[in-house]
Chain A
Amino acid sequence: MANAKLAQDIVQAAVARASRELPGFPTQTSGDVLLFGSAGALLDSLSLVSFVFILEDEFQRVSGQTLKVTTQDVLVSHRPPFRSLQTLTEFILKKLQHD
């Protein structure tokens, strides 16, 4: 339960920072927005890399642990983690539980 809250906090922090810093990322988002890989998604293949750096930074800042996102995480998963905020939160939760 504590990890679920932590995962939500990390994703919210990453999205908030992307809103402030990432070119093209909307300044406000709400609900389970589409992040990557479908029409209307907020990230393309270039801005995804920037978002991953932000996510890794916020993961460390909020949890004190290190996260390294790889191509395998993004492409080989049957449920792509960057598809939406919901899938990303699930992915982060898995990483927290794994560690």
Chain B
Amino acid sequence: MIKVSMDAQLVSELTQRTPRKHAFHLEADYSELAVKRFLTLVTAGHTVIMSSPERFADPSYLELITQEAQTDFILWPLKNSLTQLELCAQKRHPLINDEGMFIVRTSGTSGKPFKLVLHKLTNFIEKFKTSSPSSKHSLLFFPLDSIAGIETVLECYVKGGQLSSLKGKPTTDEVWQHLAKGEIDSLHVTPSFLSQMMLAGIFQNPTPKQLKRIMFGSEPPQAKVLGHVRSAWPQVELVQGYGMSEIGVLQTLTSREHPELFNLAESNPGRIQEGRLEVRSPCALVGYLNHEQALTSDGWFKTDDIVQEVQGQWQVLGRGGDLLNVGGHKFFPAELEEQFMAMPAVLDVTIRGEPHDMIGTAIVAQFILVHDVTESEFRSKLKEFMEVHIPAQRRPHRILVRSSHEITARLKKNRRS
């Protein structure tokens, strides 16, 4: 368990060493040290960006962040203390002020490799002060360089909850070990990780004592996986946590019968414009540091998520940029995945587009099978299934069968070739 609080000694040292507010780039893992440094700096009015140890070890990446943010960061490795850092006056992006801010890196789609999203701490503090408590004891599942990781820490800090931490990138075994202790009441994961938990047989265990809810978000969920979780652990509430780096995690009302459907709460309303979801969030970004601004003149954020309305509720089909286009026929990977998940032999599937010389985009399907089906049996069954259920334009051109999926550093399905 880690203590989610400021570091009193660090507060004192900061006050003594510098009256100015600085921008820090922290090396951040899942440790209490990283959590305390982040909280201490932002609450004291400094600006913080965090990177995983792997990224932080790459000088070219650190330089890229400096250039894109137009800000000279004070680099703070985990192994160094404040006294080992030189705190000098630096260039800052005009949007950065002395109110306590943090920056989240996200992936971009239009030329730049990523976007740097600037947030104001007080927006999140106010949100958690007024929202009802969601957990007493949660797990720091998401890395601290993601908005979900930061929200987990800030909610715990404001509401005084308890937080358990992982040793590194989450594994299903380690997450289960935490759940089995019977302390965690709220687990926030990605749908891909839920799939991995299902593959690892985690849901064959009895429902962990104390676990009240599982929140999932950041990519479209698969109804079959959610159904498996719901039938295995029926006492646990499944909550769809819609969120993005630019708007934080929004409050939702999730369908109990169909957890892949949701509405947004009044505190963060949404609307559909030309099929795409737009939202208002109390935690909307201050702005991008390396990209044109994102909010409409009246404060709506265009998510680029394509959403369909089902019986008065919403279902996210995918990000506009994820849309596959095969010979003019457009569809989302998640739609096709859902169709294949209807096959009893399929435990999980990932669909992605791959550049192809002959057709522009070739569809690649990577399957994970239930244990008692051989690959050759499955491939024959798949042929019959596709002939009946999958239109020709959606049929994958390449079929791969694997024992596990690759997931990204942000714990989502890797849809990139």
Which residues of A line the B interface, CB within 8 A? 20-24, 44-50, 52-53, 69-71, 74
Contacts and interface: CB of A to CB of B under 8 A. Distances in A.
Contacts of A50: 395-398
B397 A21 contact: no
A49 B392 contact: no
A71 B358 contact: yes
Given A21-B399, A23-B395, A53-B397, A45 B383 contact: no
Nearest to B380: A20
Contact of A20 (B327, B357, B379, B386): B379
A23 B383 contact: yes
A24 B356 CA distance: 22
Contacts of B383: 20-23
B359 A45 contact: yes
Contacts of B376: 20
B392 A21 contact: no
SS class, residues of chain B in contact with chain A: mixed
Given A21-B380, A46-B392, 11 more contacts: A20-B380, A21-B379, A21-B383, A21-B399, A23-B392, A24-B387, A24-B392, A44-B392, A53-B362, A69-B358, A71-B357
Interface string B387-417: 1001011011111000000000000000000
Contacts of A22: 383
Contact of B358 (A20, A21, A44, A49): A49
A95 B392 CA distance: 30
Contact of A46 (B380, B382, B387, B393): B393
B357 to A, nearest CB: 5
A21 B327 CA distance: 22
A20 B380 CA distance: 6
Interface string B187-226: 0000000000000000000000000000000000000000
A74 B358 contact: yes
Contacts of A23: 383, 386-387, 390, 392, 395
A45 B396 CA distance: 13
B87 interface: no
A49 B356 contact: yes
A46 B386 contact: no
B326 interface: yes
A47 B383 CA distance: 12
A19 to B, nearest CB: 9
Nearest to B388: A23
Contacts of B326: 46
20 contacts: A20-B379, A20-B383, A21-B379, A21-B380, A21-B399, A23-B392, A24-B392, A45-B359, A46-B326, A46-B392, A46-B395, A46-B397, A47-B395, A49-B358, A49-B359, A49-B362, A49-B397, A50-B398, A69-B358, A74-B358
